[in-house]
């Protein structure tokens, strides 16, 4: 495939020569001088007003002490705020006003004014954009207003600007058919490029509308927030991708050849970025199958935490020490995952406690069971229980367990139960043994050879 830019540079040089010829005309020079003068005045006036507002807003030094509380909103501050909002719209408004006066003056003198008249729609759009953006920023919260402005207002403005630019290039300057480049047997001209850009921007705007419509529909049908967000984002990507394909078709690109190229690229990316694609596909499966959900407590590969977000590449866990762990989604699909709160948030609280060998085992079991039942957060059903688990060299070990309704209470309840068991054992004279070693020393005795022989024998016992 050969990309030929020679036609582009040839046409560009031709258009430059035509523009130089046009600039030699007095009518064009007169319009350009008027446009430059209007732009200078329209740019300078808001600057001067902004300097005046800053000087008016300046307060005495004693009123701006660092420890002083912020002054209440007065009539003066409100007036300044409104004047700043007007100042934001002043540049396009002054240009339109002066341009209209210039058009009337040119018409009275019989001078051509087509170039000035062709620029006015762009400044009308700029004025409308600044007006709408100011209302949006004032009416909506900051996060929503910025998102709305970037996803709706700006694409709409660019669509209208490109439509007007296309009209100017085609009708006024007549350069819409200029060839930009030749790619194999595909020829791309300036008009097709503008049409493709307009189509892509319209697809982005339609994707935003489709995403919000799908998200609102799923929320009304009581779908979970992360599922609704994922489905709506996939819908948006599908609409934008369709718009991109239509834009490529407008440029004259053969979509069949593009499919072959995409197939080759997908194979290459599959080998080079297989981990990234594996995590991406695993993230989609996790979201739709609801294997892991935000708020669940899970443990994978020795890492335990609460799921805060299931993204397309990794799942975010927040641990008990408030640190965040990013677990690749592929690990959650291919490795064993222990979920503490998958079907419900009920959790078991287990205590491992040892008593001395000479203790009353029936009494110890009864004290442990009564202690579990006395705690207000231990559930009656499933019932708590006490079991003997092992006989160690220095203690008899019990497993005492009960259930709490929420997993987040299990650590606090476990700590409180240990304290309650210690106090109950002390009340009933039940001993919790500690390991110790006893060393028995055998007194020396004479051996037949007349040598002294000493034997030391260690034994292990429990303190009672």
Domains (ranges, CATH) in the chain? 3-59+77-268 (no CATH), 275-339 (2.30.30.60), 347-435 (3.30.70.100)
User: What pLDDT was estimated at residue 337?
Assistant: 86
User: What pLDDT was estimated at residue 84?
Assistant: 67
pLDDT at position 63 over 50:
no
Residue 186 or 138, more confident: 186
pLDDT at position 397 over 90:
yes
Residue 143 or 216, more confident: 216
Band (pLDDT 50/70/90 cuts) for residue 77 is low
What is the helix (H) or strand (E) element at residue 81, kind and residue range?
helix 75-88
For residues 209 and 216, the answer to whether their CB atoms sit within 8 Å is: no
User: Lowest-confidence range among 205-219, 268-282, 334-348?
Assistant: 268-282
pLDDT at position 251 over 80:
no
pLDDT at position 316 over 50:
yes
User: Lowest-confidence range among 52-56, 327-331, 346-350?
Assistant: 52-56
Band (pLDDT 50/70/90 cuts) for residue 260 is low
Token readout for 427 is: 């009340």
Please state, in angstroms and rounded to a whole number, the distance separating the CA atoms of residues 79 and 56: 11
Cβ-Cβ contacts under 8 Å for 35 (sequence gap 6 or more): 99, 115, 116, 119
Mean pLDDT of 331-353: 86
User: What pLDDT was estimated at residue 146?
Assistant: 64
Contacts of the segment 32-39: beta carbons below 8 A, 24+ positions apart? 32/115, 34/102, 34/106, 34/116, 35/99, 35/115, 35/116, 35/119, 38/95, 38/98, 38/99, 38/102, 39/95
Q: Percent of the chain, pLDDT > 70?
A: 68
pLDDT at position 428 over 60:
yes
Mean pLDDT of 223-240: 76
Band (pLDDT 50/70/90 cuts) for residue 65 is very low
User: What pLDDT was estimated at residue 3?
Assistant: 47
For residues 98 and 41, the answer to whether their CB atoms sit within 8 Å is: yes
Please state, in angstroms and rounded to a whole number, the distance separating the CA atoms of residues 254 and 257: 5
The DSSP code sequence of 202-231 is HHHHHHHHHHHHHHHHHHHTT--HHHHHHH
User: What pLDDT was estimated at residue 143?
Assistant: 58
User: For the CA atoms of the chain, what is the radius of gyration?
Assistant: 40
Mean pLDDT of 4-22: 63
Token readout for 77 is: 């501050």
At residue 109, φ and ψ (nearest 5 deg) are -90, 0
User: Lowest-confidence range among 82-86, 96-100, 281-285?
Assistant: 82-86
Band (pLDDT 50/70/90 cuts) for residue 362 is very high
Residue 388 or 137, more confident: 388
Residue 52 or 463, more confident: 52
Q: Percent of the chain, pLDDT > 90?
A: 14
User: Lowest-confidence range among 175-184, 219-228, 248-257, 379-388?
Assistant: 175-184
Residue with token string 């016992």: 461
Cis peptide before 382 (omega within 30 of 0): yes
Give 140: exposed, middle or buried? Use CB within 10 Å, 0-12, 13-18, 19+.
middle
Please state, in angstroms and rounded to a whole number, the distance separating the CA atoms of residues 31 and 10: 28
């Amino acid at each position: 495939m050969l990309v030929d830019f020679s036609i582009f540079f040839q046409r560009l040089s031709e258009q430059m020569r035509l523009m130089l010829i046009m600039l030699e005309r007095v009518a064009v020079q007169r319009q350009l001088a008027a446009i430059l003068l209007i732009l200078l005045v329209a740019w300078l006036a808001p600057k001067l007003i902004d300097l005046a507002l800053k000087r008016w807003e300046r307060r005495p030094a004693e009123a701006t002490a660092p420890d002083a509380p912020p002054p209440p909103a007065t009539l003066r501050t409100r007036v300044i705020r409104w004047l700043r909002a007007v100042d934001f719209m002043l540049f396009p408004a002054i240009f339109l006003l002066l341009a209209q006066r210039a058009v009337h003056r040119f018409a009275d003198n019989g001078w051509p004014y087509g170039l000035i008249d062709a620029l006015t729609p762009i400044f009308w759009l700029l004025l409308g954009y600044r007006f709408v953006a100011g209302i949006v920023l004032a009416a909506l919260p900051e996060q929503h207003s910025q998102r709305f402005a970037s996803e709706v207002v700006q694409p709409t403005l660019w669509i209208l600007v490109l439509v007007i630019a296309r009209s100017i290039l085609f009708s006024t300057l007549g350069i819409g058919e200029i060839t930009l480049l030749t790619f194999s047997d595909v020829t791309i001209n300036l008009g097709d490029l503008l049409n493709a850009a307009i189509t892509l921007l319209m697809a982005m705007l339609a994707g935003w509308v489709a995403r919000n419509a799908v998200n609102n529909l799923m929320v009304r049908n009581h779908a979970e927030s992360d599922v609704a967000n994922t489905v709506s984002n996939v819908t948006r990507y599908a609409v934008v991708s369709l718009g991109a394909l239509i834009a490529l078709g407008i440029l004259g690109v053969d979509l069949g050849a593009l499919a072959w190229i995409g197939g080759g690229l997908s194979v290459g990316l599959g080998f080079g970025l297989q981990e990234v694609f594996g995590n991406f596909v695993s993230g989609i499966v996790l979201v739709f199958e609801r294997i892991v959900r935000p708020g669940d407590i899970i443990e994978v590969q020795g890492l335990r935490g609460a799921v805060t977000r299931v993204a397309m590449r990794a799942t975010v866990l927040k641990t008990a020490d408030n640190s965040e762990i990013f677990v690749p989604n592929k690990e959650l699909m291919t490795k064993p995952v222990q979920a503490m709160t998958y079907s419900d948030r009920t959790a078991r609280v287990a205590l491992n406690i040892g008593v001395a060998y000479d203790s009353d085992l029936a009494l110890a079991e009864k004290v442990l069971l009564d202690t579990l039942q006395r705690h207000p957060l231990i559930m009656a059903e499933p019932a708590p229980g006490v079991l003997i688990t092992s006989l160690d060299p220095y203690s008899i070990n019990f497993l005492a367990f009960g259930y709490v309704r929420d997993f987040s209470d299990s650590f606090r309840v476990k700590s409180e139960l240990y304290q309650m068991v210690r106090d109950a054992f002390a009340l009933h004279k039940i001993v919790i043994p500690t390991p110790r070693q006893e060393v028995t020393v055998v007194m020396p005795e004479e051996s037949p050879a007349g040598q002294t022989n000493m034997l030391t024998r260690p034994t292990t016992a429990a303190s009672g």
